Amino acid sequence: MTSTAPRRFTRLANLTATHKQAEEDQEAAREALHAAIGRHLVERNARPGKIAEHTPYDRVWVGEIGRQAGAAPLKGPNAVGPPPTYDPAVQAAALEELDRLTADWRRAGAVIEKTRPQIHAEITKHYQAGVGPEELSRHTPYDRNWVGEIARSSSPTRLRRKTAPAAE
């Protein structure tokens, strides 16, 4: 027998599931991107500046990822050996891989950015209907405090109205 009562939070739960999956996808893409950056810096496949041009990070952050991966410095007192020479074919392959991984990371981020306002709109709708932040937080990727902030900031019907000072 099918229930005739409407499912109140179905859309919110579906949006939350999509959002959480996109966050997991973006984290996996970030880890793969960091691993590739570190590998290419350790193997000296491309310069840090070139790698930065093909990733969402600047040259300094790419260098930090390389240090964490164990890449030896190119310059300075700790530099090991002569400056590396880069094979154009190997560099092109490395940069192509980084472009692909960056696209995967951005694609997951786009899904997050697409679902976020939809989740906020659903929170506002349910809040205006009288559902509290505690109940809403069970169906969203946010805690009750953040749900309350979202709901109160975008809901004109339940905001406290300031009273005008009494005329004397």
Rg value, the chain, Cα:
25
The CB density around residue 1, as the number of other CB atoms within 10 Å, is: 3
Return the HEC string of the chain: CCCCCCCCCHHHHHHHHHHHHHHHHHHHHHHHHHHHHHHHHHCCCCCHHHHHHCCCCCHHHHHHHHHHHCCCCCCCCCCCCCCCCCCHHHHHHHHHHHHHHHHHHHHHHHHHHHHHHHHHHHHHHHHHCCCCHHHHHCCCCCCHHHHHHHHHHHCCCCCCCCCCCCCC
C-alpha–C-alpha distance, residues 8 and 14, integer Å: 12
Could you tell me the two tokens for 135? 């109940």
| Single pTM value for the model | 0.80
- Cβ atoms of 26 and 105 within 8 Å: the answer is yes
Per-residue pLDDT tens digits of the chain, which is 168 residues long: 454 445 688 999 999 999 999 999 999 999 999 999 999 999 999 999 999 999 999 999 999 999 999 998 888 888 877 888 899 999 999 999 999 999 999 999 999 999 999 999 999 989 888 888 899 999 999 999 999 899 888 756 554 545 556 555
57 secondary structure, DSSP code: S
